[in-house]
Structure 1
């Protein structure tokens, strides 16, 4: 092992500065997560809310504030959705496979300890017992025994000699070696794994909510001509004043929109999400509850890792 263990020179300060400017730094960029503003916007600016906004404006214009009793239902539905998604975002933001904060690196021929976010592509790091590998690299000197259980689910120790690839997120069980970083930041294996776990699907995943949204959309389209027709009848056929015409039209239109159904669905999903959270279950959003309820078969391998749905049963052995 001594013949195989030589300290390299590592990068120079000028090379580190240049690669830092080029963005080749070991800093994961979570470009898939929704911002707080995006969550608020998606729950506020909906077609469902637009219909009620128009009705509210009409009632305010004619001064019929007492008929705005439908607003608490809409506001409650909106707030529940925003709060649940912000809670999920906070949990996902904390999700990180990397526990190491600092690592020994060789620069200008000298060993120094720096935060893992300051590592750059091509840096030579020193790995020894207990260290977590901060980025993908290759052993250039020395020998290690590595545990990759966090990444693969396999608890076996794997020997890494010169020229062997190292995956970020794995732990050094024994030995000492120098490794050159080949993939850093969001290009490293552990960053891709973390981003994949944090990714939130932009499409509506809940069949129930999707069906309600579809119903609201069609109802919203139909009530526009209906509302205009009802207003014309009240104003010019029944000769009611403007305020009474608007109130009459609003009362008929509100009855066509199932806002109570929307609120009950949101409350049911929110309560289910809270119960799962108490059992340490992490949800991307509260609508994941319905997705979980629709699962009939969950495929896992021997380590308990969820696998892709590509397996086929060949024969049944009683």
Structure 2
């Protein structure tokens, strides 16, 4: 049975509802469980393929040829460990950053986790608070709720006692309390809330590109694999030898480490950013922010600190100091914004006036107010909204705002502030000047973005001149010509042109912020929106990447993909850098893995076609153990190092075409050069096993030499550690051929000088062709698909 007043539930009533299962039992985070992570990393298609091939090789008795089976264990263990690390980091940060509703229990107000709310709980609402469960309004003081995230309607809805509020909406003005009626999975937006915190790797250009590549590879694997099976099993070889050749042909066709290293790169990125108190609600946001070319930043809470200080109250028109009025207005609002909080701090003595009507602050109205009966009707808001354009006090306010101060007008209204036509004509009494402290790291952050050719546009609800003054002190290009958003055209084409041109915009309404973000996106830009207030929610939701401050409203944190829990705008460059590291390094290693797939498929076709058209069938030149060492030294170990290394290259579109321009030519050249080397040294069907080993060794020398050169190309530009990596891989590969112990284990014989010289000659020709192909394709790889930005730059 529900409580009959706003006192709240007792502890006994709470326990009773928990026992009844009437609690808000949604998961704190919709991420995968530990078992899901283990299962997803072990029971993969690639692991299944390798397990079958491993079983085939072991059945032949050649256990050493099953070394590739270690990839099953390595892939699984590394993937599990990294994803569990990322899960722990995300779960810890999500608890810090989650919305905590204010619930009344036993007459006291306490902050609880959302899943601690039970049916019939009485929950308080104020500006920026998210409605965490469905409920019925018990009391409201001009309470306005934005339901746009549920209905698409951007106009706030006034909620009176008895009306319903839905989870997923949020308060934009006023205050009130509501009783929880539907909790847990019965609530309207429970699924939406779960999805908001999901650990996911989907909807990413990088991931989608890799999926497209893997689909293409699948089509190649079917004919190449079938031909390899037919060729090896239909020849004159003994069954164990034929099975080894078949497995050796099939194993390298699968880019087994590409998906693994992509997942690892994302997971490591989450952990690195987590150490900087950056919560990534959706993993592709790391990648997305690296592709951003426009950052739309709110002023308050982003460029300036959210807290303010009352600098001066300047009476106008011969009026006296309105200290009592300011104190009464501050006391009348139970959830004051930053401006009223600064006024309340300077005027703490509440005169005790009775409030007869109230109009809470709204980003759309730009003013707030209260009626105090015989003490009059008072409003506090933007001078350029409350006063006519030619009013002398408005001009005085503009001068004060040009120094970067936030200027509010205190005025007497003609009637009650809750009337439909309020505030109508007002009588100015004083200008209230508030100081805004610029974040010490704001300039460095703007300078970083300018150096990276990322345009920053400041979009604020404050006076345009004041916003421009703050931006100018930070050296933002174009800050000297701020735009008043009330003069912006409403039609999309005109709005897009103005937003493209300008860099500082003031008096922007929440709906306009959303429209401006949409205009930039329609112009081909990848847009990030930063903000902390309830007026930023719509724009954050529509931007490619939404970035919220940890101290911002719960509503902004719930819709943002990235939450800066330390409230530092300066953390953004680290997020950008992490995204660039992920994208750039995955592109590097994708080149290696896909080159291997291309040459493996083509080599299988080249070896298999002679037998298919009536010639003597050629045994596959390599054993599975050869494939393993090729993977170790030219792909696996180097790719792991490169995937986690620093990388500051700017992210670009066109991932798939750019990777294929490198991988396909290199793979074709390696396959042909290795095949030629093999054919020139192959003794024929009458050759001895020792001669066959020497021919296979020659082909392997050719392949590894060119593959190492491809690794050297992919590692460019060089740093000392990259040179060391290349040297270690080259030395290790050479020792495999020179050391008697490894020659015996891996069945290598480079003793035939003629075969070895042939191998080196083919390798040299292949290296020249690979290098030429790389230089020929360089201009295409350098061309970014992102259009250039025409806004101001430094």
Superposed pair shares fold, TM > 0.5: yes
Cα shift at 1:278 = 3.8
Separation in structure 2 between the aligned mates of residue 37 and residue 280 of structure 1, nearest angstrom: 27
Cα shift at 1:55 = 1.0
Cα shift at 1:73 = 3.9
Separation in structure 2 between the aligned mates of residue 250 and residue 38 of structure 1, nearest angstrom: 31
Unaligned runs of 5+ in 1: 1-5, 152-158, 311-315
Cα shift at 1:297 = 1.6
Inter-CA distance 12–93: structure 2 relative to 1 (3 Å threshold): closer
Asked if 1:245 corresponds to 2:242, the answer is yes
Cα shift at 1:118 = 6.5
Cα shift at 1:308 = 1.6
What's 1:232 paired with?
233
Aligned residues: 286
Alignment of 1:1-318 (within 5 A): 7=5, 23-29=21-27, 32-94=30-92, 95-96=94-95, 97-99=98-100, 103-105=104-106, 120-121=118-119, 123=120, 125=122, 135-140=133-138, 162-163=161-162, 179-186=178-185, 194-200=193-199, 205=204, 206-233=207-234, 237-240=235-238, 242-259=239-256, 261=258, 265=262, 268-283=265-280, 289-295=286-292, 296-300=525-529, 303=533, 305=537, 306-308=540-542
1:50-84: CA deviation from partner (whole Å, max 9, x where unpaired): 22111100111122121123234443333333333
Cα shift at 1:29 = 4.2
Inter-CA distance 43–113: structure 2 relative to 1 (3 Å threshold): closer
Cα shift at 1:238 = 2.4
Tell me the SS of whatever aligns to 2:542.
Answer: coil
Separation in structure 2 between the aligned mates of residue 124 and residue 72 of structure 1, nearest angstrom: 55
Q: Decide whether the 8 Å contact of 2:89 with 2:270 is kept in 1.
A: no
Tell me the SS of whatever aligns to 2:138.
Answer: strand
C-alpha RMSD over aligned residues: 5.2
Inter-CA distance 210–18: structure 2 relative to 1 (3 Å threshold): same
Separation in structure 1 between the aligned mates of residue 209 and residue 541 of structure 2, nearest angstrom: 26
Q: Decide whether the 8 Å contact of 2:121 with 2:179 is kept in 1.
A: yes
What's 2:343 paired with?
none
Inter-CA distance 286–56: structure 2 relative to 1 (3 Å threshold): farther
Unaligned runs of 5+ in 2: 150-157, 293-524, 545-789
Inter-CA distance 255–99: structure 2 relative to 1 (3 Å threshold): closer
Cα shift at 1:181 = 2.3
Normalised TM-score (structure 2): 0.29
Cα shift at 1:247 = 1.8
Separation in structure 1 between the aligned mates of residue 13 and residue 269 of structure 2, nearest angstrom: 53
Q: Which moved more, 1:8-17 or 1:18-27?
A: 8-17
Separation in structure 1 between the aligned mates of residue 267 and residue 117 of structure 2, nearest angstrom: 42
Tell me the SS of whatever aligns to 1:57.
Answer: helix
Separation in structure 1 between the aligned mates of residue 160 and residue 69 of structure 2, nearest angstrom: 67
Which structure would you say has the larger Rg? 2
Q: Which has the higher contact order (CA 8 A, sep 6+)?
A: 1
